Amino acid sequence: WLISDPISYLCMTNCPTLIVTVGLPARGKTYIAKKLTRYLNWIGVPTKEFNVGEYRRECLKIYKSFEFFRPDNEEGLKIRRQCATSALNDVREYLSVEGGQVAVFDATNTTRERRGTIMKFAEQNGFRVFFVESVCEDPDVVAQNIVQVKLGNPDYIDCNSEEAIEDFMKRIKCYESSYQPLDEVLDRDLSYIKIMDVGRRYLVNRVVDHIQSRIVYYLMNIHITPRSIYLCRHGESDLNIKGRIGGDSALSARGKEFAKKLRKFIEEQNIPDLKVWTSQMKRTIQTAECLGVPYEQWKALNEIDAGVCEEMMYEEIQEHYPLEFALRDQDKYRYRYPKGESYEDLVQRLEPVIMELERQENILVVCHQAVMRCLLAYFLDKSANELPYLKCPLHTVLKLTPVAYGCKVESVYLSVDAVNTHRDRPEVGMTSPNFTHSLLPPSLTSSAVCSASHLPLVSLVSTSHTACLTTKRLKCNTGPKSNNAAAMEMFTDTIV
């Protein structure tokens, strides 16, 4: 049933990765697949999940019973193979044509024959395979998974819970008879991680590249213990009131009032073993000090570094650095402040925080607007395009409770007024109305651009409201620098 090209491709060092789940039903494979997909996308690795069960439901509109999964059901076996083939064809399209780097093939894949077929498919298409097997012998965990996840499955939409549980247990039995777990001897040449009893033990075999090591690192940090993560920004600061970004100012009077109300809120929640994290900046520390509990400071939680724009108002940035202002509106996620950071940089800085958050149970993180956006984007599976515009108002606590395949969010406003620091996404194609001729700062005349002959060609677009920009800055590395040339080094960007 393998669909493949006749040519066998050499798997290069940086070739795409195919993650293949292995295990009986109700072992958390889809939970793992979805979390891995969310994590890899968050760190900037284009990843997509392919759930064979969804292909089967699309092909077979009405599910009748576990009989479909019996190993002696030839018709059912044929349909399941067709669905797996369709999913693999889509995997190939995603990795070979659409530019994906990682595909997660989410299915039981319980037989050595099936896994061998997938390996052959990967070899013929130049993909590297990493298996993720989930083994669970604890009947209580399996039963809990069935109740939490499978009862909401479209297969059982018209069944009562008792009927659904009985049918699903019989479905598991259908797979048990032919299940061949990954074996240390027989499968010694495969790359895999075997997760036993929801993380009590791990077996890792033949990790061969950076992506696989990141996958292992991540999977060894996650857990399924019920917990809540509380996220909030610091109380309103003096610089917030002045409309200035960044800096390290103290809390305003209203910010201090919020800190007191935050303490009352946390006490009312009666959270067992709560840990509190802050950044190393004054306003988060002052907020946490009011809680009357120990807290930890993380440098990684510091606000995004605005570089030369620290403590400026947006209007001042627009006036003094109009090109920088426009570039940030074009791609807020990847734009990096001169001598500062981008949201993309911030995500990389926060990865250790995410890993530790995954290991923890109940925790309160007192942080900053950009930091909170990055953390929220991870837990809520938001894209890089959405991330910089997530609303994280002051004096509001977000309670995140991980559920089966996602995260439940509760927003609690603590009734203390504060300034609004959110800036909406600009309309498509719109820049500042002040850009009436050139997008370069006033000090950079067209003659200065023309005289910098060692620079790549810069093409200016002189429309009153639109400009298409890329964020790759050009550097002046040769010849003596005039004032204009020195300014070019900081501000000139390719404009197309």
The three-class DSSP label of residue 423 is coil
Spatial CB neighbours of 58, under 8 Å, sequence gap ≥ 6: none
The three-class DSSP label of residue 256 is helix
pLDDT at position 429, please?
57
Q: Using one digit for the tens of pLDDT, what is the confidence trace for 131-166?
A: 999 999 999 989 988 888 776 788 888 888 898 999
pLDDT at position 474, please?
33
Q: Above 60 in pLDDT, residue 483?
A: no
Regarding beta strands 201-205 and 192-196, do their DSSP bridges make them parallel or antiparallel, or are they unpaired?
Answer: antiparallel
Q: Above 60 in pLDDT, residue 470?
A: no
Is 235 annotated in some ligand binding site?
A: yes
Spatial CB neighbours of 318, under 8 Å, sequence gap ≥ 6: 325, 432, 434
CB burial class (10 A; 0-12, 13-18, 19+) of residue 111?
middle
Q: How many helices (H) and strands (E) does the chain have?
A: 16, 14
Is 238 annotated in some ligand binding site?
A: yes
Query: What distance, in Å, lies between the first and last C-alpha atoms of the chain?
Result: 48
What is the mean pLDDT of the segment spanning 364-386?
A: 98
pLDDT at position 12, please?
62
Residue of 304, 416, 418, 296 lying closest to 365 (CA atoms) = 296
| Confidence grade of residue 478 (pLDDT, cut at 50, 70, 90) | very low
Q: Above 70 in pLDDT, residue 62?
A: yes
DSSP 244: B
Active site residues: 234, 303
Is 240 annotated in some ligand binding site?
A: yes
| Confidence grade of residue 316 (pLDDT, cut at 50, 70, 90) | very high
Q: Above 70 in pLDDT, residue 315?
A: yes
Mean pLDDT of the chain: 86
Instruction: Domain 229-305+341-413: give its CATH code.
Output: 3.40.50.1240
Q: Using one digit for the tens of pLDDT, what is the confidence trace for 163-220?
A: 899 999 999 999 999 999 999 999 999 999 999 998 999 999 999 999 999 999 999 9
Q: Using one digit for the tens of pLDDT, what is the confidence trace for 21-39?
A: 999 999 999 999 999 999 9
Q: How far is CA 81 from the centre of its chain?
A: 32
Is 233 annotated in some ligand binding site?
A: yes
Q: Using one digit for the tens of pLDDT, what is the confidence trace for 346-356?
A: 999 999 999 99
Residue boundaries of the structural domains of the chain: 17-219, 229-305+341-413, 446-495
Q: Above 60 in pLDDT, residue 124?
A: yes
Is 283 annotated in some ligand binding site?
A: yes
Amino acid found at 149 = V
pLDDT at position 160, please?
87
| Confidence grade of residue 449 (pLDDT, cut at 50, 70, 90) | very low
Residue of 93, 103, 120 lying closest to 50 (CA atoms) = 103
Q: Above 90 in pLDDT, residue 328?
A: yes
Torsion-angle region of residue 421: left (phi > 0), alpha (psi -120 to 50) or beta? alpha
What does the alpha-carbon distance between residue 50 and residue 6 come to, in Å, rounded to a whole number?
24
pLDDT at position 197, please?
92
| Confidence grade of residue 3 (pLDDT, cut at 50, 70, 90) | very low
pLDDT at position 411, please?
98
Q: Using one digit for the tens of pLDDT, what is the confidence trace for 230-239?
A: 999 999 999 9
What does the alpha-carbon distance between residue 301 and residue 297 come to, in Å, rounded to a whole number?
8
pLDDT at position 147, please?
86
Q: Above 70 in pLDDT, residue 435?
A: no
Spatial CB neighbours of 426, under 8 Å, sequence gap ≥ 6: 329
What does the alpha-carbon distance between residue 254 and residue 256 come to, in Å, rounded to a whole number?
5
Q: Above 50 in pLDDT, residue 494?
A: no
Q: By mean pLDDT, which of 10-14, 43-47, 244-248, 459-463 is the weakest?
A: 459-463
- The first and second tokens of residue 87, run together, are 């999913």
Decide which of 370 and 162 is more confident. Answer: 370
Is 158 annotated in some ligand binding site?
A: no
CB burial class (10 A; 0-12, 13-18, 19+) of residue 468?
exposed
In the beta sheet, which residues pair with residue 48?
A: 103
pLDDT at position 10, please?
55
User: CB of 298 within 8 A of CB of 278?
Assistant: yes
DSSP string, 166-195: HHHHHHHHHHHTT-----TTTTTTS-EEEE
Q: Above 50 in pLDDT, residue 76?
A: yes
| Confidence grade of residue 11 (pLDDT, cut at 50, 70, 90) | low
Spatial CB neighbours of 282, under 8 Å, sequence gap ≥ 6: 248, 249, 250
Q: Above 60 in pLDDT, residue 471?
A: no
Is the full-model pTM beyond 0.75?
Answer: yes
Q: What are phi and psi of 473, to 5 degrees?
A: -75, 150
pLDDT at position 6, please?
43
Q: Using one digit for the tens of pLDDT, what is the confidence trace for 388-430?
A: 999 999 999 999 999 878 899 999 999 999 999 999 999 865 5
pLDDT at position 49, please?
98
What does the alpha-carbon distance between residue 440 and residue 326 come to, in Å, rounded to a whole number?
10
pLDDT at position 1, please?
45
Is 454 annotated in some ligand binding site?
A: no
10 Å Cβ neighbour count for 124?
Answer: 17
Q: Can 17-219 and 229-305+341-413 be said to share one CATH topology? A: yes
As a whole-number percent, the residues of the chain with pLDDT over 70 amount to 83
CATH class given for the domain over 17-219: alpha beta
User: CB of 46 within 8 A of CB of 95?
Assistant: no
DSSP string, 425-448: PPPTT---TT-SS-SS-TTS-HHH
What does the alpha-carbon distance between residue 39 and residue 263 come to, in Å, rounded to a whole number?
32
